[in-house]
Homo-oligomer: A and B are copies of this chain.
Amino acid sequence: MDSSGSDFSAERYFATQPPPPSLDEDIARVRTFIRHQLQAGRKVVLVTSGGTTVPLELNVVRFLDNFSAGTRGATSAEYFLKAGYAVIFMHRQFSLQPFSRHYSHSTHPFLDFLEIDPSGSNNIQITVTPSERDQLLEVLTAYKEVHRLGTMHTLNFVTVNDYLWLLRAVSKELSVLGRNALFYLAAAVSDFFLPRQKMSEHKIQSGKGSLHIEMDQVPKILKPLVDEWTREGFIVSFKLETDPALLIPKARTALETYGHQVVIGNDLHRRKFEVVFVSPREPCSSGKTNDAESTFVETWIRIDLAKDPKKEIEEDIVQELVNRHHSWIQQSKQS
């Protein structure tokens, strides 16, 4: 292992990297939101979504990014809302969002189905194309209801640094909910970053041959999340792999290392119709063996898009998690 500067513990990370300027303001709003949900007796899920960037320059022109449009997070957030959860939607700026995701400007632009109707009167009307009316009415109704109830709060990040600072602060805020907090960490977080201290101030100039970048490892943030920031929350992390053979071994390793509740494994090319839940066989307190086969359970969720092309796998993922979260809350009441 190359140890050159790659040994950033979470503690060292937060001691040396600057917080985003809007952190205090953002967290004050999150606190108000959580207080409101606590009063209403709602469970709260933190959904993280979209990719994080790693800026290569202080005046950012170039950055490293992780592939993610934010579909998983935005879609799941809608189903959590439908299931009665309040949602903190913490997403990459400009990634997909609940509700508006149905109307991507690239694939389903809303201007295409608004029509100008000169009518008979001198009052020009804007109307909705009849074939789009029912779906729009459904989306719009759900959207307005969420606004009326105040059950969704949206937060933005761009860089992996923004993400790490926000995640720490939001998870500390969520700890007041005890077991009623669910963490759905679907964002595609960079494994590497460039410490502030190593960044070039201005745009890296070309014309100097090839570009060399050397980055450090992002600290394993799940460790302090589980151990310190939010000891009772139900924590779901994601593994995205392109090599199917790595999916389950890596999910198990994550559970062994961090001791949280569920890893959802996705293969890049099958993630729209197949995921696997990997979790410890028994509640963490039960006896552990060294035999991975008996220590972990895999539950596959699959949908058949040929039969039902409108079905979204996130509906089943969220349903399964709502059930598991419910049991998790019950367990605590029994003990």
Contacts and interface: CB of A to CB of B under 8 A. Distances in A.
Given A202-B242, A210-B2, A94 B69 contact: yes
Interface stretch (A97-105, A171-179, A297-305): A97-105
A64 interface: yes
A241 interface: yes
Contact of A242 (B59, B97, B109): B59
Given A192-B210, A211-B213, A212-B212, A268 B137 contact: no
Interface string A1-44: 11111100000000000000000000000000000000000000
B242 A208 contact: no
A106 to B, nearest CB: 6
Interface string A134-157: 001101110110000000000010
Interface residues of A, number: 72
Contacts of A53: 65
A209 interface: yes
Interface string A211-238: 1111111000000000000000000000
Contacts of A137: 116, 124, 126
Contacts of A268: 59, 61
B100 A109 contact: yes
A208 B6 CA distance: 9
B116 A110 contact: no
A141 B116 contact: yes
A114 interface: yes
A93 interface: yes
Contacts of A94: 69, 94, 104-106
Given A61-B242, A136-B126, A191 B206 contact: yes
Contacts of A111: 99-100, 103, 139-140, 143
Contact of A206 (B188, B192, B211): B192
A288 interface: no
Given A106-B97, A203-B242, A5 B63 contact: no
A327 interface: no
A331 interface: no
Contact of A60 (B64, B67, B143, B211): B67
Interface in A50-94: 53, 56-57, 59-67, 69, 93-94
The 4 A-B pairs with the shortest beta carbon distances in the complex, nearest first, are A2-B209, A191-B206, A59-B242, A100-B105
Interface of A: 1-6, 53, 56-57, 59-67, 69, 93-94, 96-97, 99-100, 103-106, 109-111, 114, 116, 124, 126-128, 133, 136-137, 139-141, 143-144, 156, 188, 190-192, 201-203, 206-217, 240-243, 268-269
Given A4-B210, A94-B106, A210-B217, 17 more contacts: A6-B209, A6-B210, A59-B242, A62-B65, A62-B66, A62-B67, A63-B64, A69-B94, A93-B106, A97-B109, A116-B137, A116-B140, A126-B128, A126-B140, A191-B206, A203-B242, A210-B214
